[in-house]
Chain A
Amino acid sequence: MVSFNYVIKDELGIHARPAGMLVKEVAKLSSTVTIKKGEKSGNAKMIFGIMGLAVKCGDEVTVTIEGENETADAEVIKAFFENNL
């Protein structure tokens, strides 16, 4: 299991478009990606799971990557957050 923390910089938070892009990105990977904000967490494969967290600009989320290729996949996800959120 690999995880990292990230503070959202996008002004709208994780809104529909980046959430959709994230779902597409995760679909390409073999790992299970979970996003956690406070008590709530959501599976990044599902758009409602991500949007349901209502992540706003400035919120800190914990992203967990689990699976056989978790180290490589974590890099991909991390880059996605840095470039899009």
Chain B
Amino acid sequence: MKMLEGKVVFSGIAIGKISVLKKADQSIRRWKVEDVEAEKQRVKAAKRRAVEQLQKLYEKAVQEVGESGAAIFEVHQMMLDDDGYMESIYNMIETENVNAEYAVASTGDNFSAMFSAMDDEYMKARAADVKDISERVIRILMGKDDNDVESDEPVIVVADDLAPSETVQMDKSKVLAFVTKFGSSNSHTAILARTMNIPALINVDYTEDMDGKMAIVDGKKGCLLIDPDEETLEKYRAEKEEELKQRAMLKELKGKPTETKSGRKMNLYANIGNLSDVASVLQNDAGGIGLFRSEFIYLEKDTFPTEEEQFQIYKTVAQNMAGKKVIIRTLDIGADKQVDYFNMEHEENPAMGYRAIRICLTQPEIFRTQLRALLRASVYGTISVMYPMIISVSEVKKIKEIVDQVKAELKEEGIPFKDVEQGIMIETPAAVMISEELAKEVDFFSIGTNDLTQYTLAIDRQNAKLDDFYDSHHEAVLRMIQMVVDNAHKAGIWAGICGELGADMTLTKRFVEMGVDELSVSPTFILPIRKIIREME
């Protein structure tokens, strides 16, 4: 078994034989022509034919992938109709007395180089479009017909790069996945894979001798497994089955409200730790984001992320969620997570040390930067802010003071922001015990069961020796949740659970009965939990 790594542009699992798509030989010879006019006429005719072909492809693509997916073929026609492009070809024939094929190839190279040189990933990717239209004209000039995947059974299509015209010509029922050596997340292959709902990998360094071999595309981890052994195949078949089940569930439950038969509603949100997770939040039809861990912004950098960098990330999430609630948790790192530039001292007991809100209140400049970015992004959607590791009312008051100062600053600078909902994580026994007082200060509670359990049971979750003592359903924790929910409701605010316990399906029913208003879970748990709730009385 051989494994090649690649970058995932669309997730999923595919199992089948590889079909390596070879480009037709397009080596262009250059020769001198005597009759320049005749040569120009050849180009003109080939161009007309190419536009006709593209029109047919456009019509086919409209049927298969819809109008917006098909628009590229209309754009291709316009590219061929571009006066500058045609002029350049004619000019080359006239001044250099070269043959049509050569003139089209050179012009194609020039125009595609113009796009490649642009300082913009999207525009760079358009170089492939110019190549594609030029190659089409050349094929016609050379009297070659369009190539296609030739196979009776569905295959994993492997190629250097796939032009839109190539992908649309393929019989979609015969494609299991796309794997390419080049391409980008903006390429048409990526877009098509998304519409077709099949996995796609790019940057895979394949070799032609893989043609016809059995393979697995793992569009989760991002790898291509060639000649897998029976054990691996079995494992992936099971995963594929799981994926199909999930899809069936999605079809059944997508767009349906999360409520019991008697009509009690539950807000079912998703936990995410990175921008790239937003796609799966939307795919799994979450009602919002209940926990956006902002740590990754700090962990991925070598120095403090700027306000602008943070703003762009929060804005993107808010916009992508299109008005659905996005609860962003402020910085929650401590000595157990290594961020060099924070210069954190070694601690004997980091779980109980200098971390999260304690850092933010001690070094308010770090906190202010994040708050400014959050508030600025608030106008682009529905953002809520949540503060971690709270143990006292005075902390919350201090936070609110800082938030008010930041708002005043923004107002003075004329920068727009919305009034965001502010809530706290309930993850210390102290916060549980004083939740009645805390509830008067904030707009919502979100219970972080991981830390709450560890602090309540005095058990380090990383210590495998303690597994026998650990009980995730410990009555102490469940009673604490009940207490928090009751105190929240008394003050007229809502309470949710964003820890791992929220996704524990053996407890879903109990949480509903306890009056929990929101569960925030990993995106893949959204639909199974919705199913449980919808089946409750």
**Which residue numbers of A lie inside 8 Å of B, CB to CB?**
12-13, 15-17, 19-20, 23-24, 43, 45-49, 51-52, 54, 56
Contacts and interface: CB of A to CB of B under 8 A. Distances in A.
Interface string B447-467: 000000000000000000000
A19 B72 CA distance: 11
19 contacts: A13-B123, A15-B122, A16-B71, A16-B72, A16-B126, A16-B129, A17-B68, A20-B78, A23-B78, A24-B78, A47-B75, A48-B84, A48-B111, A48-B114, A49-B84, A51-B123, A52-B114, A54-B118, A54-B119
Interface of B: 68, 71-72, 74-75, 78-79, 81-85, 111, 114-115, 118-120, 122-123, 126, 129
Contacts of A24: 78
A20 B119 contact: no
B126 A56 contact: no
Given A16-B75, A19-B75, A48 B122 contact: no
Contact of A49 (B72, B82, B119): B82
A15 to B, nearest CB: 6
Contacts of B78: 20, 23-24, 47
Given A52-B114, A54-B120, A46 B83 contact: yes
Contacts, number: 50
B126 A51 contact: yes
A17 B82 contact: no
Contacts of B85: 46, 48
Given A13-B123, A16-B75, A54-B120, 17 more contacts: A17-B71, A17-B72, A19-B75, A20-B74, A20-B75, A20-B78, A46-B82, A47-B78, A47-B81, A48-B82, A48-B85, A48-B111, A52-B114, A54-B118, A54-B119, A54-B123, A56-B120
Nearest to A56: B120
A46 B84 contact: yes
Contacts of A56: 120
Contacts of B129: 16
Nearest to A45: B83
Nearest to B114: A52
Instruction: Give 4 closest A-B pairs by Cβ, nearest first.
Output: A20-B75, A47-B78, A46-B82, A16-B75
B113 to A, nearest CB: 12
B468 to A, nearest CB: 53
Contacts of A54: 118-120, 123
